[in-house]
Amino acid sequence: MHFLDQAKIFIKSGDGGPGAVSFRREKYIEYGGPDGGNGGKGGDVIFEAVAGLNTLIDFRYTQHFKAKRGTPGAGRDRTGAGGPDLVIQVPIGTQILADDDERSLLADLTREGERIVFLRGGDGGRGNASYKTSTNRAPRQHGPGWPGEEMWVWLRLKLLADAGLVGLPNAGKSTFINAVTNAQAKVGAYAFTTLRPQLGVVSHKGHEFVVADIPGLIEGAAEGAGVGDRFLGHIERCRVLLHLVDANDTDVATSYRVVRDELEAYGADLIDKPVIVALNKVDTLDDELIAALSAELAEASGQPVMALSGASGAGIDAVLDKLLEAVGLPEPGADEADEEGADDWSPI
């Protein structure tokens, strides 16, 4: 499945159905009269966040969405049927943006099953029965029905993850996510092996949390260098960042600062998120060199540095412990213990 995280679509709610012009014509009714019913309401355009989707690729091939109009009214005071609502299913984490220069945020769907009536269908027109008055006994006018609303909008997907992986290309992010989750990210000995975000679910000590791996950042990513910084939006919702630095880099402190500068240039408070700094690929080094590089990286980052190897598995459990603590998940069985304690409590 191809990954697409933004798309532009046209949406239109249904027009209201026209009212009817009709008169009673029963055989034994001396005086007839108007009996035209109202038209039906047009269908609404509804966005719904559903599980199981993690791409907007469907909107590349279908870009126009129009709800059906209401049915016209009929004689005998029959109101037309309303047009069916058009439900557009999108992945959880989808934002709906206006088609303007600022890309104004109109809606943000962050919970499974969340629904929003985005465009309301037009009301049906009045039938001639509703125009009858004491002085206008046989009205022939009717309402044509109100038009629906229409607009172009942008859909932007920001994946929902608890932890995000950042680092330079070839820092070992794909190897790490493959080692700790069920993801199958591509791994290669060249830059920009990862060209789209990857999600994986970590199972650790009775807990599960989601990790997002984004393409590597290089100096100038904010200006479009490499793959740019457009994928950083997928870690805006993360609670913690895991910053991986390749232990084989010429200057690990410079590698750390390059990525931090790009996070700061992007904005969205990414630079203020809690971060865990880890020296990766330490399986190729001896203990003395690992200690020296860790000290150098700790001085540059102001953070304690953890050593790990995604390839050999060394140090991974300790890093997952830190991530679990930063994500803030409750201890297994804590809810049940609280409930049992509540049952046993007594004021005596």
Binding site listing for GTP = 167-174, 192-196, 213-216, 280-283, 309-311
Edge-to-edge strand ranges of the sheet holding 94-98: 64-66, 6-12, 150-157, 94-98, 105-109
CA–CA gap between residue 135 and residue 315 (Å, rounded):
90
Annotated binding site for Mg(2+): 174, 194
CA–CA gap between residue 144 and residue 126 (Å, rounded):
8
243 beta partners: 166, 277
H or E stretch including 6?
strand 6-12
Identify which of 224, 306, 229 has the alpha carbon closest to the alpha carbon of residue 270.
229
Q: Which amino acid is at 185?
A: A
The three-point CA angle 98-100-104 to 5° equals 45
**Residues listed for the chain:** 348
Question: Could you tell me where the beta strands, DSSP code E, fall in the chain?
Answer: 6-12, 45-50, 64-66, 86-91, 94-98, 105-109, 115-119, 150-157, 163-166, 198-204, 207-213, 240-246, 275-280, 305-307
DSSP-derived pairing of the beta strands 163-166 and 240-246: parallel
Annotated binding site: 167-174, 192-196, 213-216, 280-283, 309-311
CA–CA gap between residue 15 and residue 18 (Å, rounded):
9
- Count of other CB atoms within 10 angstroms of residue 3: 15
